[in-house]
Chains A and B, each alone.
Chain A
Amino acid sequence: MLRLKKIRSIAAAATLAMATLAAASMSGCAASNSNGKIIAIFFPKERAVKAADSVIDDIMGVSAMPAIAPAPAPATGATERRVIEVTKK
């Protein structure tokens, strides 16, 4: 009797789980591609930007189309001291 109850519990939970996954897929939250991998329904803009940059790098070469120049390194204490010394002179 107890075993039957357990089986019924598992069956009910599994049914609910399947129904929920189906609902998630239908509502557009997630889906599987042809490889069975779960993919996002919504367009992943950030990842698309990274992918585009990578493709553009391959086509143009990094030196031909440079990305934004890296920000200058923050001033260190030593640099600040030198600036002060020069100003004093």
Chain B
Amino acid sequence: MTLIFTTQQRIASTLVLLLCSWTPFALAQTEANLEIVSPSIAVIKKSIAGRLPALKPRFESLSIGLTRDGLIKIMQPDNIHPVERRSVEILVEDDNKDRATLYREIARANGRPDWESELKRTFGERWIYRAPAGWMIEDAPGVWKKK
């Protein structure tokens, strides 16, 4: 079957083409809000928040610090009493598991599991930006400083 288009049809098709080309851009711009509310995200947030009172003194004593990829790390194990060291290690491990799950869940909730690494980086930046002065932060890859 051969389709022969008249000038009017061609103009109409071009207009439709332009409209349809622009619509996905416009919709993508307006509807790309990140979903951060889901039952699993709420559970993880609560878990991290529940661990915070135990971790906060460790941040303040510079024993642990905030990494650039949104996790936490033991910086100065010598600042931790040997008796408490294992419990702090477990706290940090558990917190990092929760943090990793949080970023993965947010990526999944938005239908974009491939955004996980970008989300980790963004959260890392924001944790560091919003951390109180005096906490240890990873300023550049592998470079630590007191904020």
Range class of the A interface residue count = 35 or more
B126 in complex: contacting residue of A38, A39, A53, CB < 8 Å: A53
Contact B20 A52 (CB under 8 A): no
Closest residue of A by beta carbon distance from B132: A65
Output the least CB separation between A12 and chain B (Å).
Answer: 6
For A35, list chain B residues within 8 Å (CB).
111
A37 at the interface (CB under 8 A from B): yes
| Given A52-B122, A55-B45: A12 touches B5 (CB 8 Å cut-off) | yes
- How many residues belonging to B are interface residues under a CB distance threshold of 8 Å? 44
Contact B13 A16 (CB under 8 A): yes
Interface of A is mostly: helix
A44 vs B115: C-alpha distance when bound (angstroms): 10
For B27, list chain A residues within 8 Å (CB).
30, 38
B34 at the interface (CB under 8 A from A): yes
A-B contacts, 12 of them at CB < 8 A, read A16-B16, A17-B17, A21-B24, A30-B24, A30-B28, A35-B111, A38-B24, A53-B130, A55-B106, A56-B127, A58-B49, A59-B49
- Chain A interface residues toward B at CB < 8 A: 5, 8-9, 12-13, 16-17, 20-21, 24-25, 29-30, 33-35, 37-41, 43-45, 47-56, 58-60, 64-67
